[in-house]
Homo-oligomer: A and B are copies of this chain.
Amino acid sequence: MSDKEKDYLAINELSYSEDGLIAAIIQDWDTTDVLMLAWMNRDALQKSIDTGYTWFWSRSRKRLWQKGEESGNVQRIQSISYDCDADTLLIKVQQGGDGVACHTGAPTCFYRELKGL
C-alpha cells in the first residue's frame, strides 16, 4: 500500500465533529511558533494534502478557502500529524508571503497574553 493510500485510510478514520469538521493547529516549521487554529473538513484536508498548501473550511462563509488566497501569505505544508483521539491535526508549515499568519498583520494570531499568572 502506498503512502497516499495509507493517508486515504487515515483520513477516513479521523474523528470529525457532527458538522464534519476537525481542528487544525498550525505551527511554524522554522520558528516553532504556534500560528493559528482553523477548521478543516475532509475535502479541505484532502486538498491540503494534494496541493501541499493549507486549505480550510470557513464556517461563516461556508466554503473552502486557501490560507493566503487574498493576502498571499500562503502556508507550505511540511508535515501533518494527528492526536491520540484522532480529532485534532497538527500541521507544520513554512509561512510564505510576508511571513505573517494573522489577518491583523501579526506574525502569529496568538499575540495577546494574560499577565497575572
Interface bits A44-78 vs B (CB < 8 Å: 1, else 0):
00000100100000000000000000000000010
Name the interface residues of A1-58: CB closer than 8 Å to any CB of B: 2-8, 10-11, 23, 25, 27, 32, 34, 36-37, 49, 52
Considering the chains assembled together, what is the distance between the CA atoms of A77 and B113 in angstroms? Answer: 13
Number of interface residues, chain A, beta carbon within 8 A: 41
Is B80 a contact of A117 with CB atoms below 8 Å?
yes
Closest Cβ of chain B: how far from A107's Cβ, in Å? 12
Is A90 a contact of B34 with CB atoms below 8 Å?
yes
Is B27 a contact of A34 with CB atoms below 8 Å?
yes
Query: With A102-B84, A117-B79 in contact, is A23–B37 under 8 Å at CB?
Result: yes
User: Number of copies of this chain in the oligomer?
Assistant: 2
Is B113 a contact of A84 with CB atoms below 8 Å?
no
Interface bits A73-96 vs B (CB < 8 Å: 1, else 0):
000010111111100101000000
Contact of A113 among B81, B102, B115 (CB under 8 A): B81
Binding site for B on A (CB under 8 A): 2-8, 10-11, 23, 25, 27, 32, 34, 36-37, 49, 52, 77, 79-85, 88, 90, 102-104, 106, 109-117
